[in-house]
Structure 1
Amino acid sequence: MNPLENFRMAFESLWGNKLRSFLALLGIVIGVFAVTAMISLGQMASAGITQDLEAIAGRSIFVQPNFNEGETAESAPIRDADVAALEVLPVKVLPQLFTSAQYESKPGERRSITLQGTPGDLPRLDPTNKVARGRYFTQAEARGGLAVAVLSDRAAKDLFPNRDPIGQVARLYYPSGGRLELTVVGVLEPPSGLFGGLSSSATVYAPIPLIWNTSPFARKGQYDFLVLTLDKGADAQQVSKQVRRIFEARYGKGKFSVQSTESFQDTLRSITVILQALLGAIAGLSLLVGGIGIMNIMLVSVTERTREIGLRKALGATAGLVRQQFLIEAVVLTLVGGVLGVALAAGLLVLITATVPFFKVFILSPATILLSLAVSALIGLFFGVWPAARAAALDPIEALRYE
């Protein structure tokens, strides 16, 4: 009897016991579905996090005083000379200045708001900043220190509820008592995605020279923070090293912190990989349970078919062929279960991509599919060995007498 005949008999046996076969492969279907879905959801989450982070910060490097070492904007200010030293790198240097201010939410009641100094034409220099209404103040307006402002979406709602802020005058107050009146020329788009909340604070953007001239806390020629937007094709890791070397050469080690969005992404990817492994391991337990179910069903099948096995051996079937038949049945069951599990996981992933905004990209990699099917086949092979060995060891004479 050749192996092809064993395949035919294995399929006939499985098809002849549809309910039993279905119940046997159900555990494999659930296990493969869970493993495939968990691995793919982890990959989709990683892609979603990366996209959201790039939408908020793009490919950027951030330079600020090293707060972990006790430095502050006063003890470690960033100066014009530092900005000039960085301009030789493949980046656009965007100095930032922060100060606190207040506004009157109603007569006699003041609330805090962030006043941020930036260069002019910021959306052109950093495309992650998008204007929803109006415009951004120009570089000429910024250099001249004109009293113009752009509002974040939250600031527009706080300062001018139920009104169009474009053309209105925003009255801000420094904690020391000074007043600043700014003509609103634009409103930025609200942040979106998982990290939208990080930049959803009420912020008024104004020219840096204006803040230097009016704020009692700002010092001319000094900045609190730098955003370096990488040129296309620039290597973030290499540029970060160059930036770090420039600041260490000028001020020594530990004064400034240099971080890139890609380092944040690497950290987040590491976390999602760990979560994937944990979730995949938990889901893999259902595969183990499914394998035990396969073994149990195959042992029942050996008992039920004892006379058939004895007849085959009496007609010349070797122990190896009998073993092969039962192994084929176990592997076929698990492979069919694996295919169904992958199909169900794909359907769930399509549904999640269509309905959950965070999961923007459908990911079901060939490697994940192959891994799921290979594991399901190995489960069938592993848990089919004992029933197959038991069937192969039956004495043909005793088997023929079995009732």
Structure 2
Amino acid sequence: MNPARPTPAAPAGPMGMNPLENFRMAFESLWGNKLRSFLALLGIVIGVFAVTAMISLGQMATAGITQDLEAIAGRSIFVQPNFNEGQDFSTAPIRQEDILALQTLPAAVIPQLFTSAQYEVRPGTRRSIQLQGTPGDLPRLDPTNKLAKGRYFSEAEARGGLAVAVLSDRAARDLFPGREAVGQVARLYYPNGARLELTVVGVLQPPGGLFGGLGAAATVYVPNELIWNTSPTARKGQYDFVVLSLKKGADARQVTRQVQRIFEGRYGKGKYQIASTESFQDTLRSITLILQALLGAIAGLSLLVGGIGIMNIMLVSVTERTREIGLRKALGATSSQIRQQFLIEAVVLTLVGGLLGVVLAAGLLLVITATVPFFKVFILNPATVLLALAVSALVGLFFGVWPAARAAALDPIEALRYE
């Protein structure tokens, strides 16, 4: 008995074509039509560039806003009368016993007073300026207050109600234009005409960033005790506003709830407004997320246009290569192999376009970070890159299905006759 003969291996070529061979042929076809391929992927490049840039710019804007907010307010909680409910400084004052209750929390408690005053620009002409009472050593309690010159009045000076003052940068320029403010005497006037002479001991740094304008008012900082002793409207032992500068590691939301419980337990609901920089940041994040979604959706329309362009180019390619498709089918290529090749071409086009779009977006973001002060942090989230590339591949797959199906459905005999 003759031994069994081994079964011959399937021949290489169209009849035994594997996916790698389809990839090779797809790349050769795209490379052979460079201009057409470039025009096809141009829409994808623009779409992925726009989507990646818009989402990343939104994230960079959020980071910039958060940094600026922390620079001017730190991690803080604010307590004031609920003006939305008709309260004011006279109907909802913050009392000394409230301050003592707040001092049990993991935060530096900074009670403050506000009143208006005037200064003389020239004899007979006066302008308004804000007078703000604070405890002593404010930069130690709240590091967002930074000195540019001189010093801040001490706790002892504040307890004694001494006539010393620290000026905001704007107040220093208004009160002493072209002169050094530290060491000068600032003469202010209450609305009733009473005069207040203050020795200037320091000047604060001007606030920077997007929210710099919020702290750019002309403000004279003096001891709370001094305002109680001299102002015709201030009531001793009562404050207008309290800032709680959170200690490192303190949970802002938990402390906010504790502050809420203290004031609601003492005065009922709705009389005081309690907010934190965390809540401001959450609101800003929500706004920027909505803007990112809108801008991303608008930019995504260009991906749709790019996908339609891919489909049109692929349909033209099917028509041009009708005889090639017929020859491959006659040599044994299956409909699924033909379909696979055209789908690979479409996906490769969109992936290459997606990569180019991401590279261009990264370049733009680097330029913006280097040239626009507001965008302090370069952010290109890997999740954003993966999302952009995944969407571009899905666009190629979706818009490549019809041309691929049309190529696979060609009759080999009719295709070979095609001129």
TM range (shorter): over 0.9
1:234 aligned residue: 250
1:393 aligned residue: 409
1:344 aligned residue: 360
Match of 1:209 among 210, 225, 241: 225
Secondary structure of 1:128's match?
Answer: coil
5+ residue gaps, structure 2, are 1-16
Separation in structure 2 between the aligned mates of residue 156 and residue 230 of structure 1, nearest angstrom: 29
Cα offset, 1:156, TM superposition: 0.4
1:83 aligned residue: 99
Separation in structure 1 between the aligned mates of residue 159 and residue 95 of structure 2, nearest angstrom: 16
**TM-score of the superposed pair, with normalisation by structure 1:** 1.00
Match of 1:359 among 352, 365, 375: 375
1:149 aligned residue: 165
Cα offset, 1:105, TM superposition: 1.1
5+ residue gaps, structure 1, are none
Asked whether 1:260 is paired with 2:268, we answer no
Q: Give deviations 1:3-48, integer Å, cap 9, x for gaps.
A: 1111000000000000000000000000000000000000000000
Match of 2:177 among 161, 167, 189: 161
1:96 aligned residue: 112
Match of 1:192 among 200, 208, 227: 208
Q: Equivalent residues in 2 for 1:173-192 (5 A)?
A: 173-192=189-208
1:69 aligned residue: 85
Secondary structure of 1:317's match?
Answer: coil
Secondary structure of 2:26's match?
Answer: helix
Q: Give deviations 1:187-236, integer Å, cap 9, x for gaps.
A: 00001000010110000000110010000011100000000011111111
Tell me the C-alpha RMSD between the 2 structures.
0.4
Q: Equivalent residues in 2 for 1:300-339 (5 A)?
A: 300-339=316-355
Q: Which amino acid aligns with 1:47?
A: A
Secondary structure of 1:74's match?
Answer: coil
**TM-score of the superposed pair, with normalisation by structure 2:** 0.96
2:303 aligned residue: 287
Cα offset, 1:106, TM superposition: 1.4
Separation in structure 2 between the aligned mates of residue 253 and residue 268 of structure 1, nearest angstrom: 26
Cα offset, 1:274, TM superposition: 0.1
Q: Equivalent residues in 2 for 1:114-125 (5 A)?
A: 114-125=130-141
Separation in structure 1 between the aligned mates of residue 267 and residue 405 of structure 2, nearest angstrom: 74
Q: Which amino acid aligns with 1:152?
A: S
Which portions of structure 1, spanning 4 or more consecutive aligned residues, are displaced by more than 6 angstroms?
none
Aligned length, in residue pairs: 403
Asked whether 1:380 is paired with 2:396, we answer yes
2:290 aligned residue: 274
Separation in structure 2 between the aligned mates of residue 237 and residue 126 of structure 1, nearest angstrom: 19
Separation in structure 1 between the aligned mates of residue 311 and residue 136 of structure 2, nearest angstrom: 71
Secondary structure of 2:187's match?
Answer: strand
Q: Which amino acid aligns with 2:220?
A: V
Secondary structure of 2:333's match?
Answer: coil
2:45 aligned residue: 29
Structure of higher CA gyration radius = 2
Separation in structure 1 between the aligned mates of residue 249 and residue 203 of structure 2, nearest angstrom: 31
Separation in structure 2 between the aligned mates of residue 340 and residue 259 of structure 1, nearest angstrom: 45
2:75 aligned residue: 59
Cα offset, 1:72, TM superposition: 0.4
Match of 1:224 among 240, 243, 256: 240
Q: Give deviations 1:355-402, integer Å, cap 9, x for gaps.
A: 000000000011000000000000000000000000000000000000
2:9 aligned residue: none
Separation in structure 1 between the aligned mates of residue 165 and residue 386 of structure 2, nearest angstrom: 56
Q: Which amino acid aligns with 1:384?
A: G
Q: Give deviations 1:174-193, integer Å, cap 9, x for gaps.
A: 00110000000000000100
Secondary structure of 2:242's match?
Answer: strand
Secondary structure of 1:132's match?
Answer: strand
Separation in structure 1 between the aligned mates of residue 262 and residue 19 of structure 2, nearest angstrom: 71
1:243 aligned residue: 259
Q: Which amino acid aligns with 1:15?
A: W
